[in-house]
A = this chain, B = another copy of it.
Amino acid sequence: GVKKKIGMLPGDGIGPEVVAEARKVLDAVAERFGHTFEYAYGDVGAVAIDNSGDPLPDHTLKICEESDAFLFGAIGHPKYDNDPSAKVRPEQGLLKLRKSLGLFANIRPVTAYDSLIHMSPLKTEKVLGVDLVVYRELTGGIYFGEKGRTKDGAYDHCTYENFEVDRIAHLAFQAAQHRSKKVTLVDKANVLETSRLWRERVTLIANEYPEIELDCMFVDNAAMQMIQNPKHFDVILTENMFGDIISDEASVIGGSLGLLPSASVGDKTAMFEPIHGSYPQAAGKNIANPLATILSAAMMLDHLGLVNEAIEVRNAVNSSLKIGMVTEDLSKKEGYGTDRVGDFIANCIA
């Protein structure tokens, strides 16, 4: 067995409940495969502001820095919803985590599960067979450029350097080698200079992967094609702001946000996070769907090189879907509690 340090950042809303279920699953994996997972818990988001005035306390950042990987629940609380100008806000914790830890690539697979296709807002023939992954640049662009006010206005600077484009482009092309060998670069190269830079660099890098087809698409067109013809996409590569929009758009086509995991990787540690939010209305009710967090834990296992372990977790999730051992959001009947679903999956593995 191996020994790994795993950070746990449950965060706000349903975060603690879904992270608790993923923990059960990780414990079952450790037990079954003889690994040792050392966990360290830290506050982040609104709960961290409440406890210490800081959405990302130093203690939490240190846990992450020292981890081989960490799981992140969700952040956000309604009390911050109406004032995006507030000095201290939960999402600053997330942005600072990304930047401080150099988590430059956000990886978001979107798979349409056959058994959930009836829940998709799209017609079945559009969404059946969708299997794509977004590689979103996460530490550059307009998110982290200089920003401020002038006498009568405001500004945000979007900048990209070659190396920032290159490193995530390589990840996307490498991923494409194990998939259907196609990368779609999403940009706005007919208007933006940063997008022209992306296109140049990515076209250069594509030469190093002669078996991969590179397809370039303007972001407005991509927003249309994602609805009109989502099967067009396999690996999507894009900058930070476009990735935020396109990956969220993609996330609803499968029918349930409750199943979508994500990874944010850098050169050192990596973060794994369900893409749903803190969903405060559901907090404390034992109704939150833990599957996206459990699948995020599976991505974490893959990242740690524990590939068979990840397969076990995914198989267990598929079993829970097959027999209907799922929470109410996925169920035609009453639905099971968050904890029951987690127990079932952990038991499948044990």
A196 proximity list for chain B (CB < 8 A): 84-85, 154
Closest-CB distance, A324 to chain B (whole angstroms): 23
Q: Indicate if the CB atoms of B241 and A253 lie closer than 8 Å.
A: no
In the complex, residue of chain B having the shortest beta-carbon distance to the beta carbon of A190: B84
The yes or no answer to A91 lying at the interface (CB within 8 A) is yes
Contact of A224 among B150, B199, B249 (CB under 8 A): B249
Q: Please, how many residues of chain A have a CB less than 8 angstroms from a CB on the other chain?
A: 61
The yes or no answer to A123 lying at the interface (CB within 8 A) is yes
**Chain copies in complex:** 2
Closest-CB distance, A227 to chain B (whole angstroms): 5
Closest-CB distance, A213 to chain B (whole angstroms): 14
The yes or no answer to A147 lying at the interface (CB within 8 A) is yes
A121 proximity list for chain B (CB < 8 A): 122-123, 126, 227-228
Q: Indicate if the CB atoms of A156 and B158 lie closer than 8 Å.
A: yes
In the complex, residue of chain B having the shortest beta-carbon distance to the beta carbon of A80: B190
Q: Indicate if the CB atoms of B193 and A220 lie closer than 8 Å.
A: no
A149 proximity list for chain B (CB < 8 A): 193, 197
Q: Indicate if the CB atoms of B252 and A227 lie closer than 8 Å.
A: yes
In the complex, residue of chain B having the shortest beta-carbon distance to the beta carbon of A245: B223
Report the Cα distance A253→B123, complex, angstroms: 11
Q: Indicate if the CB atoms of B249 and A148 lie closer than 8 Å.
A: no
Report the Cα distance A163→B152, complex, angstroms: 8
The yes or no answer to A328 lying at the interface (CB within 8 A) is no
Q: Which of A235-276 contact B (CB under 8 A)?
A: 241-242, 244-249, 251-253
Q: Which of A114-167 contact B (CB under 8 A)?
A: 120-123, 126, 142-143, 145, 147-150, 152-164
Closest-CB distance, A195 to chain B (whole angstroms): 8
The 10 closest A-B pairs by CB, nearest first: A84-B189, A153-B161, A154-B197, A147-B193, A220-B248, A223-B249, A155-B159, A154-B193, A156-B158, A154-B194
| Given A155-B160, A242-B245; 13 other pairs, CB 8 A cutoff | A142-B158, A147-B194, A150-B161, A152-B162, A153-B161, A155-B157, A157-B158, A188-B241, A220-B244, A220-B248, A223-B248, A228-B252, A241-B241
